[in-house]
């Protein structure tokens, strides 16, 4: 929350442990759309540093967790990155599966911490920049 505004930094879609392939594809598209909307609203009100701020997409479909992030680059192009895909340990699992799950949660936590720290330290909002950039002619 910044100046009374709340920003959604992560969007999540979850389905059942057993779901059809079409549901998985539809939810993936839905996550992409939601992260796009989230990025639009953050940049409409804030100006976080490009190439550093991201909106997270988290999809749990069946027993698979997919972690994605949408980041705006310096050329103002939004880039959608697939970070991780892993099996969610829903029952007793191999240590490697549990370790990968914990690693992914820690990465998710670090991205959120970085994003939250960038918002209060953002550059000047668009409206304030327009005021600063406008020329005032003094008629003395």
- 135 belongs to a structural domain: no
Alpha helices in the chain (DSSP H): 21-45, 95-118, 126-133
Nearest to 49 by CA among 76, 67, 31, 68: 76
Range of the domain at 100: 10-125
Query: What's residue 81's pLDDT?
Result: 92
Residue 78 CA to residue 64 CA, distance in Å, equals: 25
Per the model's pLDDT, the better-predicted residue between 100 and 3 turns out to be 100
Q: pLDDT tier at 136 (50, 70, 90 boundaries)?
A: very low
- 3 belongs to a structural domain: no
Which has the minimum average pLDDT: 42-51, 80-89, 98-107, 131-140?
131-140
Residue 99 CA to residue 59 CA, distance in Å, equals: 19
- 5 belongs to a structural domain: no
Query: What's residue 44's pLDDT?
Result: 85
- 133 belongs to a structural domain: no
Domain total in the chain:
1
- 131 belongs to a structural domain: no
- Calculate the alpha carbon distances from 62 to 3, 28, 68, 111, 138 in Å: 39, 13, 17, 24, 66
């Amino acid at each position: 929350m910044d100046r009374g505004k709340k920003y959604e930094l992560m969007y999540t879609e979850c389905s059942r442990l057993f779901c059809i392939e079409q549901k998985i594809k539809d939810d993936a598209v839905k996550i992409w759309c939601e992260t796009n909307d989230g990025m639009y609203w953050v940049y409409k009100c804030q100006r976080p540093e490009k190439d550093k701020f991201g909106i997270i997409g988290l999809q749990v479909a069946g027993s698979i967790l997919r972690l994605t992030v949408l980041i705006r680059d310096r050329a103002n192009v939004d880039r959608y990155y697939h970070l991780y895909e892993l099996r969610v340990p829903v029952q007793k699992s191999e240590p490697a599966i549990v370790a990968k799950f914990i690693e992914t949660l820690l990465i998710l936590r670090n991205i959120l911490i970085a994003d939250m720290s960038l918002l209060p330290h953002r550059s000047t909002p668009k409206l304030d920049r327009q005021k600063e950039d406008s020329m005032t002619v003094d008629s003395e």
